[in-house]
Chains A and B, each alone.
Chain A
Amino acid sequence: MTGIEVGIASIIVIILLIYGGLYVPVALGLVSFVGVWILREDLQMSIDLLSLAVGDSVSDQVFATIPLFALMGLLVGQADLGRDVYAVANMVFRRVRGGLGIATVAANAVFASITGSSIASATVFTRISVPEMLRYGYTRRFSVGVVSGSSVLGMLIPPSAMLIIYAIVAEQSVGHMFIAGVVPGVLLAIAYSLMILAFAYWLPGFVGGAKSDQVEDVDDMSTLQAIKLLLPILALVVVVLGGIYGGVVTPVEAGAAGSLVALVIAILKGKASPKAIWKVLVETGHITAIILFLITAASMYARMLGVAALPTTFGEWLQGLNLDFTSVMILYVIMLILLGTILDTASIILIVVPLFLPAVETFGGDLVWFGIVTVVGAEIGLLTPPLGLSCFAIKSTINDPSISLADIFIGSFPFAVTMLGVLVLLIAWPGLSLILI
């Protein structure tokens, strides 16, 4: 068999095994092992490939961003900062039609700047904002749809686990990826808010919330109170993004500093019992192992692809098709969305990006921009059946049998469509992603 055939066969086998339910890192590692064995007909070389990948794949200090930002996100959750943001956003948008929905989007956008995960945001805001919206007469579908839709912001607005993972695979600076995520994230939040407004005016039946005009006499929070609630979050944003953007600290140091500040906030808020902190640390450990092990296995896969010379050949083949870059990107996005139906975002990035990088480079595409497109495209799958992970996270958190998984998917659908629209904008105008760098 030629290298190309082995490479393509490996990818197909990997996807089938993953779909069947094999652990993703095991699928990536074992198939790469067999692939290299077939290609080089040398067992020892195959074994070396694996142990080498284990030894050096995650040995760069930039990988420390994964445990550190995970720790920070968990501490922020422990300190209940999500609830504070939501309270303030609620006060600001309460009198707007569909206001609680917009408040959820806004709170998610702010919360996203101190945490790095969509699933995290979905879990936190299912608890906080769904009951509130239901209380004010919003429909079930809309309430859960807003939460799952806006949870995507967690992955886009830095710090973001997915931007870090992309930066590692594509050898881009984590700092640049973080900065590049800001404008697209804000753009998506604005697009969501406009969509909610439009629905509230033209399709109020879907949104509900008729009683929202009667909330005038809810006790108003004073501006001072609002600032007090937002202060800890502001401090974290300044430490993390300010530090990176100002060039004072590296992303690793920003993660460490952010964790420390988050720990202090949790202690000051009286939420840092030794037991709670220990739970946070154990969870951080699990997340670190899961993500870094996945990255290690993906690096075995990337090395196997390299041995098979597949990425270069694939790039040449794409060029040979005489497609323009736009068509290539359209194909790419379709592929991301399809994969998003069976895989989590991290796995998608790790499997697809090594294959497409050489092609994007020959077409002259910017790799930071390509990363933003990849993350947004792969995240659309979080909102769509059959395996919309954000939707599942909501379903398992919500504890309300009257809200079915189908309700959540239907409620999320307009948000998935809006995301696709924003993705088109991001592809058409790379400047949106690159303007701050």
Chain B
Amino acid sequence: MSNTGDNAGTWVGSISGNESGASPDGGAPSSILDRISSVMNALGSLWIFVLMILINIDAAGRTWFHSPMNGVIELIELSLIAIVFLQLADAQRCGRLTRSDGFFSMMLEKQPGFGRSLGAFFELLGLLFMVIILWGSVPNLIEAWTEDFYVGEEGIFTAPVWPTKLVIVVGCVVTGLQFAVFAWRYVRPSRSEPQQGESQ
């Protein structure tokens, strides 16, 4: 039986165990969607690394050379939500989203028919959630683009807001599609099954 997804707490977890991040098919991304998710994940991961370096430069500059790097804080604030939506689809694909699947796995085992329907239902709710967020986020993107919203102070450092809003929209679409694919796999048992957060 698999455990619940305290994936949220797995800070070191599976890294040394070589088990992390397997796709349901266990290997190379099997579809265009999976590939898109992986590329977005890679971008987000790289971006975290870049931020880490920038924060270090800023802190070192301020502490030792009295010359902080302008705009790092603004950049962080814009980046975090973008990073989330860059990674979300891949996290979903790898079965890493937090869930408590004790009851659910039991159902899959003992009442496969019901368990599968339940699984598909949950994936569809995930899709619905993405659709609602998308619905509210598209107007924000249009507004940020047409009104030229930016953060920071003019003359010192400014950054446009629209790229972040765009990432939210794209992330919602890709993650929603991932949910849909998973739902489809639950009701088509002949295909490969979505895994149940067993990546630990």
Q: Do they bind each other?
A: yes
Please report A residues at the B interface, Cβ cutoff 8 Å.
18-26, 29-30, 33, 47-48, 50-52, 54-55, 57-61, 63-64, 67-71, 73-74, 76-78, 115-121, 123-124, 127, 155, 161-162, 248-249, 252-253, 256-257, 259-260, 278-294, 296, 342-347, 386-387, 389, 392-393, 396-397
Chain A residues whose C-beta falls within 8 Å of the C-beta of B91 in the assembled complex: 285-286, 289-290, 293
> Are B125 and A286 in contact (CB-based, < 8 A)?
no
B42 surroundings in chain A (CB, below 8 A): 282
Question: Which one, A33, A253, A292, contacts B84 given CB within 8 A?
Answer: A292
Tell me if B103 and A286 are in contact (CB < 8 A): no
Chain A nearest CB, measured from B31 CB (Å) = 19
Looking at A24, A257, A293, A294, which has the most chain B CB atoms within 10 Å of its CB? Answer: A293
B129 at the interface (CB under 8 A from A): yes
Question: Which residues does chain A contribute within 8 Å of B53, judged by CB atoms?
Answer: 256, 260
Distance from A70 Cβ to chain B, minimum over Cβ atoms (Å): 5
Chain B neighbourhood of A279, CB < 8 A:
15, 20
B158 at the interface (CB under 8 A from A): no
Q: Is the interface of A mostly helix, strand, loop or mixed?
A: helix
Which single member of A18, A55, A71 contacts B52 (CB below 8 Å)?
Answer: A71
**Chain B residues near A252 (CB-CB < 8 A):** 55, 76
Do A20 and B200 form a contact, CB below 8 Å, given A54-B133, A76-B12, A117-B12?
no
* Chain A proximity of B74: nearest CB distance (Å): 9
One digit per residue, 1 when the CB lies within 8 angstroms of any chain A CB and 0 when it does not, for chain B 87-125 equals 110110010111111111101000000000011001001
Shortest CB distance B75–A (Å): 9
Task: Flag whether B45 is at the interface (Cβ < 8 A).
Answer: yes
Q: Which chain B residue shows the least CB distance to A379?
A: B9
Interface residues of B, Cβ cutoff 8 Å to A = 3-17, 20-21, 41-42, 44-46, 48-49, 51-53, 55-56, 58-59, 63, 73, 76-78, 80-81, 83-84, 86-88, 90-91, 94, 96-105, 107, 118-119, 122, 125-126, 128-129, 132-133, 135-137, 140, 165, 168, 198, 200
B11 contacts A161, CB within 8 Å? yes
Closest to A405 in B: B1
- Chain B residues whose C-beta falls within 8 Å of the C-beta of A59 in the assembled complex: 77-78, 80-81
Kindly state the separation between the CA atoms of A57 and B119 in the bound complex, as whole angstroms.
29
Given contacts A29-B129, A284-B48, contact A54 B81 (CB under 8 A): yes
Nearest B residue (CB) for A73: B11
A52, A116, A121, A256 pick with most chain B CB within 10 angstroms: A256
Contact A64 B132 (CB under 8 A): no
State whether A260 touches B52 (Cβ < 8 A). yes
Residues on the A chain within 8 Å of B107, using CB: 21
Contact of A117 among B9, B87, B98 (CB under 8 A): B9
Taking the closest CB of chain A, its distance from the CB of B108, in whole angstroms, is 9
Check B104 against A21 for contact (C-beta < 8 Å).
Answer: yes
Smallest CB separation, A78 vs chain B (Å): 7
In contact, A285 and B44 (Cβ under 8 angstroms): yes
